[in-house]
Structure 1
């Protein structure tokens, strides 16, 4: 087992057919996202020389169970994909009973890995956990803003409150206290009053628990007021917006790989890379596929990937980005 732990597993190893199943919503309201997964998985299958079998889970429970059974009938030894919780919850018992592992490229709900041991699910994921973004905001911004006066505001939504409150608590645990905390009215035409309060507080930085439109308006009004306020937000900053974003806005988000594709294409590509590498490595050594997934380190489009004892990524994938006026770039690339 120690040898497996130390090994960096490459998808370019081994020969012989490897049949990988893709479970994704290819029809219905989430078909566009499922098609992103399909595109990424197909590209990785060609690169790693595996046979990809696709099944439509329709993003629903019945669809998930029927997709899992279809993939088993096709003789797959591992399944990737999975976007919707309802489909995943129905598919996992079917796959686990058959001894077929699942690597999710899309399901983020914490309960899937939190319950993995209790349920006995053969489940891993390259998609981040729901709480990974909140954790990353704290891990990245607390040390970065340690010597600055900072504020925390949110839009009153569950998402906004949770991410802002997690950051506030993490700051206080580290002996830091924001100079200003407030909830603003979202979707307003301007945020002049909020910006005025932020300026009066003396804050030099502000974390905003909100969407791209609101952050763009706050940044616009801050610039109009002559403030050099540095504004940061979460991955909702990647959403489409009719409001131009100011250069310098910070975003905590998972890096993208546009050369592979948009949205879920990248995570599906990485999931197939892992499935291919683990399958071929296990086949070569007559080993156990689940043991390889548990202990291997995999070369992927997301970088080196290793899973923790819950089946989550062992390293939080979120990174800090800065908007350069046209696009978000990784902060380390922007130095």
Structure 2
């Protein structure tokens, strides 16, 4: 009896000791395929800095970080995929361009290496990945989500207004406005006026006259920030009071003509980080960097992969299992992925221009706009 008691005590002590031992992360080998030169090299630098800074603050989580070059061509994508496979990485982050991403995905899928893009928004990439079984994860927002958020904002804020949908004739502007129109009409709301305009002009007198004739008070512009500013300037000149809304193209430097205060924009959450990004902002500031460009989205990706590595330490799940089944708290806010690798959250937020700067629209801002509409 004493022997059995002693053995039971020893087993209990061993079990408690094991339970008290902190769970260690399963070190993750991360590949970064980013532009090393050319016009997108700065964005590549942002991704590199974010991962290096996170890695320094969280030693032992990543086994290593292996870099490859994204030249934004199909050939560079294929070459980078081969290099990542030879390096034996567990997951690749990057491929900032559609061409390189599309070329790399089938090759890396064959090697069972998932890919997470920070920038590619085209819905077709996700559709093809789902159809062909590619190991694809999108932290960037889907293009279609921009129209969904814009249509919802118009429905909630402008439903009782005489509003126009206008676009600049470019593929992006035309597709955005058409998607918004369809989504609104599915909800029983039709725009008062739909039109297009010639971009890059110094003035837009005929467009503004057409808006006046249609009795328009609110305008969604599918086009560049500079074109919206010209339209707003012309409307002011013709003494036509208009309220404006636009898409993510408004996330651009202010040009010669400012946008009017109160302009609403549908912006990517990475372009206008919220309170969840404060820790990341502080970390970047400690390194003398501003949280701009791709730094916040890349930092969020580093946080996600860090959580995956940690959870692998006490789970038999693969990297993909953990990506699909987990909820991640990141600098972009809560992030979850569908079984198809798409981010469940829209990835776009409403912003409003105050004193020349876009800030996330608050509940109070939305309430004020609704009150102004009554």
Q: Same fold (TM over 0.5)?
A: yes
C-alpha RMSD of matched pairs (Å): 2.1
Alignment partner of 1:25 is 2:55:
no
Listed as ranges, the gaps of 5+ residues in structure 2 are 1-22, 285-290, 366-374
Structure-1 residue corresponding to 2:13: none
Map residues 45-64 of structure 1 onto 2, 5 A cutoff.
45-49=55-59, 50=62, 51-64=64-77
**1:298-309 alignment to 2 at 5 Å?**
298-309=328-339
Q: Distance in 2 between the 1:117 and 1:166 partners?
A: 22
Check 1:128–1:119 CA distance in 2 against 1; reply closer, same or farther (3 A cut).
same
* Cα separation, 2, equivalents of 1:82 and 1:333: 36
Contact 2:167 2:197 in 1 (8 A): yes
Matches within 5 A, 1:40-119: 40-49=50-59, 50=62, 51-119=64-132
In 1, Cα distance between equivalents of 2:58 and 2:217? 49
Deviations 1:84-109 (A, max 9, x none): 12221232223222222211112222
* 1:333 to 1:117, Cα distance in 2 relative to 1, 3 A: same
The Cα shift of 1:136 comes to: 2.1
Q: Residue 287 and residue 56 in structure 1: after superposition, are their counterparts in 2 closer, same or farther (change >3 A)?
A: same
Cα deviation, residue 16, structure 1: 5.0
Aligned to 1:196: 209
DSSP-derived class of the 2:143 partner: coil
Deviation of the 1:153 alpha carbon: 1.3
Larger RCO of the pair (alpha carbons < 8 Å, separation 6+): 1
Say if 1:100 and 1:122, in contact at 8 Å, map to a contact too.
yes
- Corresponding residue SS for 1:263: coil
TM-score (norm 2): 0.80
Deviations 1:177-234 (A, max 9, x none): 2222221222221123322332332222111111111100111222333333111111
- Residue 208 (1) aligns with residue 221 (2): yes
Q: Give the match for residue 327 of structure 2.
A: 297
Residue aligning to 1:6: none
When residues 47 and 71 of structure 1 are mapped into structure 2, their CA distance, relative to the original with a 3 A threshold, is farther
Q: Is the 8 A contact 2:25 2:311 kept in 1?
A: no
In the superposition, the TM-score normalised over structure 1's length comes to 0.89
Distance in structure 1 (CA, Å) of the matches to 2:185 and 2:329: 37
Q: Taking structure 1 as reference, are residues 118 and 197 closer, same or farther at Cα in structure 2, changes over 3 Å only?
A: closer
Taking the aligned partners of 2:164 and 2:100, their CA distance within structure 1 comes to 40
Cα distance in 1 for residues equivalent to 2:153 and 2:55: 35
The within-5 A match list for 1:301-320 is 301-320=331-350
Relative to total residues, which structure has the larger helix share, 1 or 2?
2
- C-alpha displacement at 1:334, in angstroms? 6.2
Contact 2:25 2:312 in 1 (8 A): no
Q: Does 1:38 align with 2:68?
A: no
Change (3 A) 1:90 1:178: closer
Cα distance in 2 for partners of 1:126, 1:37 equals 13
Q: Does 1:331 align with 2:341?
A: no
Find the residue that maps to 1:115 and give its secondary structure. helix
Aligned to 1:9: none
Please report how far the alpha carbon of residue 333 of structure 1 lies from its aligned counterpart in structure 2 after TM superposition: 6.6
Q: CA deviation at 1:60?
A: 2.1
State the match for 2:308 in structure 1.
Answer: 278
The separation in 1 between residues aligned to 2:110 and 2:58, in whole angstroms, is 27
Tell me the number of residue pairs that the alignment of Structure 1 and Structure 2 aligns: 323
CA distance, structure 2, for counterparts of residue 14 and residue 220 of structure 1: 59
Aligned position for 1:245: 259
Deviations 1:138-162 (A, max 9, x none): 1222222112221111112212211
